[in-house]
Structure 1
Amino acid sequence: MSKQPYRTEMGIISDILRVTLDCDRHGAIISSISRKANLSHYSAIEKCQKLVGFGLLESVNNERNRIFIITEKGMKFFQEMQKFIAIAQAVKIRY
């Protein structure tokens, strides 16, 4: 039985963007992102902050939680990344 390889940074970013995209314009709280993207709470916060810095996500505080919402730029980036991943998998490149 072979060991499953760890995800790359791009794989993690893809998972986070997919979670926030699935939540539409309502956004996702960090615990939901952490759970659905299979990341520790701390790692999820760190990665989301990085994506906010790049303009792919925006962060909004409501009365109890911090919500992350995918931006238009983030949606376009995610779509292009999915195209790249499909090509990389077709030629057996690990992304």
Structure 2
Amino acid sequence: MSKQPYRSELGMISDILRVTMDYGREGTIITTIARRANLSHYTATDKCQKLIDFGLMESRSDKKSNFFTITEKGMKFYEELERFTETVQAIRIRY
């Protein structure tokens, strides 16, 4: 029997997008995303790559770090996800 995850994948993605929105166009490094979204480094990296693949985030590098930023598409997705979450909570469904 496997352990049920603490959050759904959508919950993790929502947290990652929120963190990147907080940092704006400057972006932030994966360690900050992992810490503020309460995820392991590996999980944060995996989810960020998925978000990049779908055009919801971008990654850019300088000499020593990769910075992650949210795209316009990512902001719209996050807003819709927040509306969905509010609706789900209002009707008391666990997702």
1:89 Cα deviation (Å)? 0.1
Give the match's secondary structure for 1:16: helix
User: What is the percentage of aligned positions where both structures have the same residue?
Assistant: 58
Letter of the 2:11 partner, please give it.
G
Q: Which runs of 4+ in 1 moved over 2 A?
A: none
1:6 Cα deviation (Å)? 1.1
1:39 Cα deviation (Å)? 0.5
1:48 Cα deviation (Å)? 0.2
Which residue does 1:87 correspond to in 2? 87
Alignment of 1:59-74 (within 5 A): 59-74=59-74
TM (normalized to structure 2)? 0.93
1:94 Cα deviation (Å)? 1.1
1:63 Cα deviation (Å)? 1.1
- Provide the aligned length of Structure 1 versus Structure 2: 91
RMSD: 0.8
CA distance in 1, matches of 2:29, 2:67: 5
Gaps of 5+ in 1: none
Give the match's secondary structure for 2:74: helix
1:28 Cα deviation (Å)? 1.0
TM (normalized to structure 1)? 0.93
CA distance in 2, matches of 1:66, 1:26: 11
Gaps of 5+ in 2: none
